[in-house]
């Protein structure tokens, strides 16, 4: 069983305690799995696409924390698998376009929000099969936006292959994908005018 569905089942079965909104999201996932292939439901859950983002994240290494953790591969928690798998796995059966274009994840402190967003940012910038992808990490202040952007930079610096794949422009808070001309940028309300603003992910 894929980890996205596993989390949903364990929540509904009461094995994992969550709030009501999470339960509803999990129940929707399970209900919609049953609706696949019916005439009035145009979406399918593509396990390969869900697993692709999970596998990508777990090829990255922890850059902060206790000494025995730093440099080891990330191991996603089940709730993180559900978030990522839902976003990337549900697609339109005919077009392949993602079902969910927006998401809102409210997590307590120390639940790896920046790490999760940094993983998504790197994936969408360089590995989403989209040339010239523009990814923006935003906050009220540029300094805040650079926290998440900086996590992505640390992932790159930790990995030799990613260092060859991306170019870091610290002075302009940019990461450039060399193979598809994608760009990931930190933006704040205090950031100056941006030309050619056409976000692929934000």
The pLDDT tens digits of the residues spanning 92-120 come to 999 999 999 999 888 887 777 888 999 99
The pLDDT tens digits of the residues spanning 14-38 come to 999 999 999 999 999 999 999 999 9
SS3 sequence of 48-95: HHHHHHHHHHCCCECCCCCCCCCCCECCCCHHHHHHHHHHHHEEECCC
pLDDT of res. 198: 85
3-state secondary structure of 67: coil
Could you tell me what percent of the chain has a pLDDT over 70? 96
């Amino acid at each position: 069983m894929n980890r996205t569905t596993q989390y949903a089942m364990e929540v509904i079965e009461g094995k994992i305690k969550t709030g009501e909104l999470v339960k509803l999201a999990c129940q929707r996932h399970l209900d919609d799995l049953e609706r696949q292939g019916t005439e009035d439901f145009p979406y399918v859950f593509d396990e390969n696409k869900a697993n692709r983002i999970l596998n990508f994240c777990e090829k990255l290494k922890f850059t902060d924390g206790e000494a025995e953790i730093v440099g080891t591969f990330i191991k996603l928690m089940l709730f993180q698998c559900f978030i990522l798998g839902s976003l990337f796995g549900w697609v339109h059966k005919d077009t392949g376009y993602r079902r969910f274009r927006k998401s809102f994840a409210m997590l307590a402190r120390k639940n790896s929000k920046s790490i999760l967003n940094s993983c998504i940012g790197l994936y969408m910038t360089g590995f989403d099969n989209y040339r010239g992808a523009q990814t923006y990490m935003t906050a009220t202040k540029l300094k805040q936006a650079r926290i998440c952007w900086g996590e992505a930079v640390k992932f790159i610096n930790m990995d030799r292959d990613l260092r060859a794949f991306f170019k870091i422009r610290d002075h302009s808070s940019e990461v450039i994908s060399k193979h598809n001309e994608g760009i990931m940028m930190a933006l704040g309300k205090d950031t100056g005018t941006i030309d050619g603003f056409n976000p692929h992910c934000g």
